[in-house]
């Protein structure tokens, strides 16, 4: 079978020089890659402000992210870029501060909690279906905007028990688009030892976009927080937590040693992290999923049949039954897994060495930047058969002898060692189970009712910023299966 090979930025034939990087990567981190990036086990580049090592070899990746994770905390530049938006949350902190925050956050994402919020996910997915039913048959629609809406709606319903209206959805989408576009331009001077060169007007624009998003969340969180504090003073905690959502869990949780919970600012930081990281990464992956399906009609037909059979009579099913049936949809799950391989929402994990070490033949000094790239590792020419092809069935077969002989000697171990869209080790994404449940539900409901076709002449252009998005949107023609 011929598989669809989606477009991605063509790598340069040779390693770019420092000043090429300075000008190219200000738009997208993907623009600085070159052909050997997809084959090398480890690369290096030395800039005026940083020594940077790109690690692709699975044993070294495991060393950095699992075995010696404490020696490779998140990079300080990443914290600088995200702190105006996320504050000191588990996405930006390290060490003991991160450990305490993670322990307080864990109860909100235990398996039982994720199952309990399924009904809220389903309500948001139903609202998405209703919006798409209003789209004229066969017309073009920007599915990236739609997927952002439903992902943000799910996050708000599950965290704060509030749906997201269309106007607020567009405000969040546009504000984060501005924030993302500015991030590489503000970070790049630091790579050249020129932190002072960041234009004040760009910093002002970035801060304004962050404040716009945080103000939306503060307006939702403050009344609940104040009600809870009044109830505690009145010794009536139960009355202040009528909603069984993630915010209620975060309000209740206490540090086992100190007995203290999250203060208001800390709470806003964590909710901002959950909201932005949760909806943005899911929206990115869901958008690319629909792009890939639109170009793979045979896969889309099979997925429609699976969803149609699995969700027959869905209107009369309770939430537990729907969740169970969605979980059993093998192709739906594999389409999403393959999307995460080709278009990992976070394409680059930046770490900073705190101690010196040797990796292969290179001496990595304290303070050096070590980058783990799911984008490169999951398309690596020696780790995957047909690495650039959309092939969701690869997850249901063991790599054949032919694939191994064709130049992919590690094909049988790729899924275990070279697949890390959610990261790995102690800092693996806290919302992994949540994201997989959410994505499977949305894709199943879309596949059951809608068919997507490419728009002639429209080729989404991937850009790597804080997440991997399409620079020109993902526009598709929307059809109803009944009409076709």
Q: Would you list the DSSP string of 196-257?
A: GGS-HHHHHHHHHHHHHHHHHHHHHHHHHHHHHHHHHHTT-GGGG--S-SHHHHHHH---TT
Task: Please classify residue 407 by burial: count the beta carbons closer than 10 Å to its beta carbon, then call 0-12 exposed, 13-18 middle and 19+ buried.
Answer: exposed
Flag whether pLDDT at 166 surpasses 80. no
Q: How much is the pLDDT for 134? A: 95
When pLDDT is cut at 50, 70 and 90, the band that residue 252 belongs to is confident
Q: How much is the pLDDT for 328? A: 93
257-266 confidence digits (pLDDT tens): 888 889 999 9
Question: Beta-carbon neighbour count of residue 80 at 10 Å?
Answer: 15
Higher pLDDT, 217 or 172: 217
Count CA atoms closer than 13 A to 333's CA, side-chain side: 12
Residue with the two structure tokens 């943005």 = 280
**% pLDDT > 90, the chain:** 49
Q: How much is the pLDDT for 484? A: 42
Both tokens assigned to 207: 């801060």
Per-residue pLDDT averaged across 444-473, rounded?
93
Flag whether pLDDT at 410 surpasses 90. no
Per-residue pLDDT averaged across 110-120, rounded?
81
3-state helix, strand, coil in the chain (%, to 5): 60, 10, 30
On whether the CB atoms of residues 227 and 240 are closer than 8 A, the answer is yes
Both tokens assigned to 65: 């992210």
Q: How much is the pLDDT for 15? A: 76
Distance of CA 299 to the CA centre of its chain: 24
Q: How much is the pLDDT for 135? A: 95
Give the count of domains, the chain.
Answer: 1
On whether the CB atoms of residues 372 and 64 are closer than 8 A, the answer is yes
Does residue 205 belong to any structural domain of this protein?
yes
Q: How much is the pLDDT for 402? A: 47
Q: How much is the pLDDT for 379? A: 96
Per-residue pLDDT averaged across 428-454, rounded?
95
Domain holding 354, by residue range, is: 18-479
When pLDDT is cut at 50, 70 and 90, the band that residue 364 belongs to is very high
Per-residue pLDDT averaged across 437-446, rounded?
96
1-25 confidence digits (pLDDT tens): 679 999 998 888 877 666 566 555 5
The DSSP element (H or E) to which 55 belongs, if any, is strand 50-55
Using CA atoms of 474, 476, 482, 483 in order, give the dihedral in degrees to the nearest 10. Answer: 160
**% pLDDT > 70, the chain:** 87
The residues, ordered by sequence, that sit 6+ positions from 451 with a Cβ below 8 Å of its Cβ are 300, 304, 478, 479, 480, 481, 484
288-341 confidence digits (pLDDT tens): 999 999 999 999 999 999 999 999 887 877 888 888 999 999 999 999 999 999
When pLDDT is cut at 50, 70 and 90, the band that residue 235 belongs to is confident
Rounded to an integer, what distance in angstroms lies between the CA atom of residue 255 and that of residue 295? 50
- Coil, helix or strand at residue 343: coil
Does residue 364 belong to any structural domain of this protein?
yes
On whether the CB atoms of residues 127 and 214 are closer than 8 A, the answer is no
Does residue 12 belong to any structural domain of this protein?
no
Which residues lie across from 141 on neighbouring strands?
Answer: 476
Q: Which of 282, 296, 343, 306 is nearest to 454 (CA)?
A: 296
Rounded mean pLDDT of the chain?
Answer: 86
Does residue 363 belong to any structural domain of this protein?
yes
Per-residue pLDDT averaged across 356-376, rounded?
93
Which residues lie across from 53 on neighbouring strands?
Answer: 44, 370
Both tokens assigned to 355: 């101690």
Does residue 161 belong to any structural domain of this protein?
yes
- Please state the φ and ψ torsions of residue 459, each to the nearest 5 degrees: -120, 110
Flag whether pLDDT at 94 surpasses 80. yes
Does residue 8 belong to any structural domain of this protein?
no
Rounded to an integer, what distance in angstroms lies between the CA atom of residue 201 and that of residue 317? 53
Pairing of strands 475-480, 140-142: antiparallel
DSSP type of residue 49? T
Does residue 396 belong to any structural domain of this protein?
yes
Flag whether pLDDT at 88 surpasses 80. yes
Flag whether pLDDT at 286 surpasses 90. yes
When pLDDT is cut at 50, 70 and 90, the band that residue 477 belongs to is very high
Count CA atoms closer than 13 A to 191's CA, side-chain side: 24
On whether the CB atoms of residues 220 and 61 are closer than 8 A, the answer is no
Rounded to an integer, what distance in angstroms lies between the CA atom of residue 131 and that of residue 382? 43
Does residue 10 belong to any structural domain of this protein?
no
Q: What is the CATH number of the domain that holds 169?
A: 1.10.630.10
Question: Beta-carbon neighbour count of residue 417 at 10 Å?
Answer: 16
Q: Which of 286, 169, 272 is nearest to 220 (CA)?
A: 272
The residues, ordered by sequence, that sit 6+ positions from 386 with a Cβ below 8 Å of its Cβ are 3
46-61 confidence digits (pLDDT tens): 877 788 899 999 999 9
Flag whether pLDDT at 403 surpasses 70. no
Per-residue pLDDT averaged across 445-463, rounded?
96
Q: How much is the pLDDT for 210? A: 85
Largest CA distance in the chain: 71
When pLDDT is cut at 50, 70 and 90, the band that residue 200 belongs to is low
Per-residue pLDDT averaged across 61-86, rounded?
88
């Amino acid at each position: 079978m011929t598989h669809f090979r989606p477009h991605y930025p063509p790598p340069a034939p040779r390693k770019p020089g420092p000043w090429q990087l300075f000008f190219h990567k200000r738009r997208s981190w993907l623009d600085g890659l070159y052909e050997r990036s997809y084959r090398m086990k480890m690369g290096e580049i030395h800039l005026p402000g940083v020594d940077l090592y790109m690690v692709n070899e699975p044993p070294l990746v495991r060393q950095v992210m699992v075995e010696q994770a404490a020696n490779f905390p998140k990079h300080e530049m990443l914290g600088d870029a995200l702190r105006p938006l996320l504050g000191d949350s588990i996405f930006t902190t390290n060490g003991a501060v991160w450990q305490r925050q993670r322990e307080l956050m864990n109860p909100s994402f235990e398996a039982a909690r994720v199952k309990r919020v399924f009904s809220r996910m389903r309500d948001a997915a139903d609202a998405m279906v209703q919006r798409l039913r209003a789209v004229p048959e066969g017309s073009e629609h920007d599915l990236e905007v739609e997927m952002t809406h439903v992902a943000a709606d799910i996050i708000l319903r599950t965290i704060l028990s509030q749906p997201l209206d269309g106007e607020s959805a567009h405000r969040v989408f546009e504000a984060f688009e501005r924030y993302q576009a500015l991030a590489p331009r503000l970070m790049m001077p630091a790579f050249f030892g020129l932190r002072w060169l960041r234009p004040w007007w760009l910093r002002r624009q970035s801060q304004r976009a962050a404040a716009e998003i945080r103000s939306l969340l503060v307006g939702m969180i403050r009344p609940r927080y104040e009600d809870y504090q009044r109830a505690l003073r009145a010794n009536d905690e139960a009355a202040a937590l009528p909603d069984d959502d993630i915010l209620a869990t975060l309000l209740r949780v206490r540090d086992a040693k100190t007995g203290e919970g999250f203060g208001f600012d800390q709470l806003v930081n964590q909710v901002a992290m959950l909201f932005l990281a949760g909806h943005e990464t899911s929206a990115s992956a869901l958008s690319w999923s629909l792009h890939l399906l639109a170009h793979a009609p045979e896969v889309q037909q099979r997925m429609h049949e699976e969803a149609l059979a699995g969700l027959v009579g869905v209107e009369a099913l309770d939430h537990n039954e729907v969740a169970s049936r969605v979980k059993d949809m093998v192709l739906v799950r594999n389409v999403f897994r393959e999307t995460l391989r080709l278009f990992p929402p976070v394409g680059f994990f930046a770490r900073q060495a705190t101690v010196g070490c040797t990796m292969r033949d290179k001496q990595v000094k304290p303070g050096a930047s070590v980058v783990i790239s799911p984008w490169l590792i999951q398309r690596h020419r020696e780790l995957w058969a047909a690495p650039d092809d959309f092939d969701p069935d690869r997850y249901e077969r063991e790599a054949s002898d032919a694939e191994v002989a064709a130049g992919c000697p590690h094909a049988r171990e790729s899924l275990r060692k070279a697949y890390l869209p959610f990261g790995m080790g102690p800092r693996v994404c806290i919302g992994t189970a949540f994201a997989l449940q959410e994505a499977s539900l949305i894709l199943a409901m879309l596949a059951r009712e809608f068919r997507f076709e490419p728009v002639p002449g429209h080729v989404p252009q991937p850009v790597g910023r804080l997440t991997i998005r399409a620079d020109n949107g993902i526009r598709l023609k929307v059809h109803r299966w009944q009409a076709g």
